[in-house]
Chain A
Amino acid sequence: MSLLEIEGLEVTFGQGEGRVAAVRGASFSVARGETHCIVGESGCGKSVTSLAIMGLLARGATRQAKRMEFDGRDISRLSEREMSRLRGHRIAMIFQEPMTSLNPAYTIGSQMAEVRTRHLGGTKQAALDRAAELLGRVGITAPGMRLGQFPHQLSGGLRQRVMIAMALMNDPELLIADEPTTALDVTIQAQILRLLAQLQADLGLALLLITHDLGVVARVAHQVSVMYAGEVVENAATADLFAAPRHPYTRGLLECLPIPGKVAPGAPLGSIPGMVPKLTPGFTGCGFRSRCSLARAECAAPVALRGAPHLYRCVVDA
């Protein structure tokens, strides 16, 4: 059984006429010791999905799910108190913006130590030792010195390493990383990704990685979910997805990628015409149909995922 199982997750914001369905039926599962990527463009609902799992949606958002289980426990019905015991302990999260994700008022050491003592108790000194060990593990030299420093004394790449180390303080089973490399420059991105993949393998973590970068997916993911307009439109093992994409949107995405040797220099890159539809209440069916060359009449009705194990949500046979 998988560590995290999500089925039919729906998140809506606002009420009445202004209601927007940010996520409408996301289903996927993350197995222990596996990296699962959720990939999609801005606004497709991937970040909202991760926040919904953590129970950290903003006010005014409503969450519904057919099934939402973590380690066999239904987390959709947990109280805020029980949920906060899971957060930071068994499920940890890394955010996109390392520059602002650390509290400027405290030293690195005290922020890291607090995460540990809050959940597991123990002395502050033991927690600081653990913090120093983890800082070394994420490739920070002189961890003892860094513990006494404030966030503004660290660069973006270092701060993201600190965030990763902080997330690991309590040996979580599931690590959710929401675009952890987006705000960093390219060389640092590569380092952080390699670090995440390394830690994932060493510690046997389940890693749920949210990204819009297919290059990242190809390098680290075992399993991929492609999201579009609030739905998971395709879900497959990474190799299968890149070798034989089944959903028209995934195919369109992959055609947009410049691959040296495959795409002739100067040849125009692929693009997907049209715009993302507005997900007002009452919107049903495939979100991609207005941009899809294969669209038919039945696309307007809800489309089911099919074709296990390489799942896709399309009425046209791949």
Chain B
Amino acid sequence: MRRSGIWIGGAILTVVALAGLLAPWIAPHDPYAQDLTRRLAVPFWMEGALPEHLLGTDQLGRDYLSRLIFGARVSLIIGAMVVVVSGAIGITLGVLGGFFGGRVDDVVLFLITCRLSIPVVLVALAVVGLLGSSTSLVVAVLGLLLWDRFAVVARATTMQVRNLDYVAAAWAAGSSTPRILVSEVLPNIMTHLAVVGTLEMALAILLEAALSFLGLGVPPPLPSWGLMIAEGRDFMFFSAWVIWIPGIALFTLVLAINLLGDGLRDLFGAAPS
């Protein structure tokens, strides 16, 4: 089916986003409430499951479904914030470089090259390890590291748009340079940037999970999916589901975002990636 990617991806993303948004109302339990007498209760399809804990409980007896739902919040907020920060940096640099060319473009290209030579995971680990883990720090670090693709795409598409007749027409109508950048160039490269945005969001969510898994992402007891996998590590032999429930959630969300991104790209015509 044509454009099924957009629909499937969009539907999953909507469900996850709604879950995250409405978490305080739809989560059956407090995600932080511990009950040590009910540690590692099994999910509903296994024998001996507790009816009030659909997906069981973790090693501290916290309701797993509630933690999963609140975890969606963490993933989506971090993903979205990283896209905002990295998008702002990358798009500004890319549009300036692509529009003005010459020296400005040389500087932008140099910055992109510098950025590409920095290993993202290593630097993120080092910074978070040094400054201590917090959600805003994860956002800041990933945002400052993941802008390269925005810059590359914004630069290339701006170069195309810059020479189009309607930009010349805007000059002839007396528009100033900032005005042309903001109201002629930007709206016409947005479709391409939206595609990049989805890809970067998926990447940021995965990186957050990876950092949290290593204990350097969001601090416990915040219910991040990466952190849930990390905390379940010790019990994976006898209670494998503590790992694969958040694992599947992560996989599904990233897949959904990527499907949406691919679908958008097909919809908008070939966007450079």
The residues of A with any CB-CB pair to B shorter than 8 Å are 54, 56, 59, 81, 84-89, 92-93, 95-97, 100-106, 114-115, 118-119, 163, 166
Contacts and interface: CB of A to CB of B under 8 A. Distances in A.
A88 B188 contact: no
B166 interface: yes
Question: Most chain-A CB neighbours within 10 Å: which of B164, B168, B173, B187?
Answer: B173
Interface string B174-190: 11100100011001100
A93 B174 contact: no
B170 interface: yes
Given A59-B102, A105-B187, A95 B169 contact: yes
27 contacts: A56-B168, A59-B102, A81-B176, A84-B175, A85-B174, A87-B172, A87-B173, A88-B173, A88-B174, A92-B173, A93-B172, A93-B173, A95-B169, A96-B165, A100-B164, A101-B165, A101-B166, A101-B168, A103-B184, A103-B188, A105-B187, A106-B187, A114-B183, A118-B173, A118-B174, A118-B175, A166-B173
Contacts of A56: 168, 171-172
A59 B101 contact: yes
Contact of B172 (A85, A88, A114): A88
B187 A87 contact: no
A163 B172 CA distance: 12
Nearest to A115: B173
A159 to B, nearest CB: 11
Contacts of B173: 87-88, 92-93, 115, 118, 166
Contacts of B102: 59
B172 to A, nearest CB: 4
B165 A87 contact: no
A60 B1 CA distance: 50
Interface in B142-174: 164-166, 168-174
A102 B169 CA distance: 8
A153 to B, nearest CB: 16
A87 B174 contact: yes
B23 to A, nearest CB: 36
Contacts, number: 64
Nearest to A98: B165
A1 to B, nearest CB: 24
A89 B174 contact: yes
Q: Which 7 A-B pairs rank lowest in CB-CB distance, beginning with the nearest? A: A88-B173, A88-B174, A105-B187, A93-B172, A87-B174, A100-B165, A101-B165
The size class of the interface chain B forms with chain A is 10 to 19
Interface in B59-105: 101-102
A84 B174 contact: yes
B182 to A, nearest CB: 11
A103 B170 CA distance: 9
A119 B174 CA distance: 8
A178 to B, nearest CB: 9
Contacts of B169: 93, 95, 101-102, 163
Given A87-B171, A88-B172, 12 more contacts: A54-B171, A54-B172, A56-B171, A87-B172, A88-B173, A88-B175, A93-B172, A95-B165, A95-B172, A103-B188, A114-B183, A118-B175
B172 A86 contact: no
A166 B184 CA distance: 16
Given A59-B101, A95-B165, A86 B174 contact: yes
Question: Most chain-B CB neighbours within 10 Å: which of A59, A103, A115?
Answer: A103
A108 to B, nearest CB: 12
Contacts of A100: 164-166
Nearest to A54: B172
A110 to B, nearest CB: 10
B247 to A, nearest CB: 41
Contacts of B170: 103
Nearest to A163: B169
Contacts of A118: 173-175, 179
B130 to A, nearest CB: 44
A208 to B, nearest CB: 13
B168 A95 contact: yes
A223 to B, nearest CB: 23
Given A59-B101, A59-B102, A103 B166 contact: yes
A104 B187 CA distance: 9
Nearest to A56: B171
A38 to B, nearest CB: 17
Contacts of A102: 166, 169
A59 B166 CA distance: 18
Contacts of A93: 169, 172-173
Contacts of A95: 165, 168-169, 172
A26 B90 CA distance: 45
A11 B164 CA distance: 22
A95 B171 CA distance: 12
Contacts of A119: 174
Interface in B207-246: none
A88 B179 CA distance: 14
Nearest to A83: B174
A81 B184 CA distance: 19
A108 B188 CA distance: 16
Nearest to A87: B174
A104 B165 CA distance: 11
A74 B165 CA distance: 27
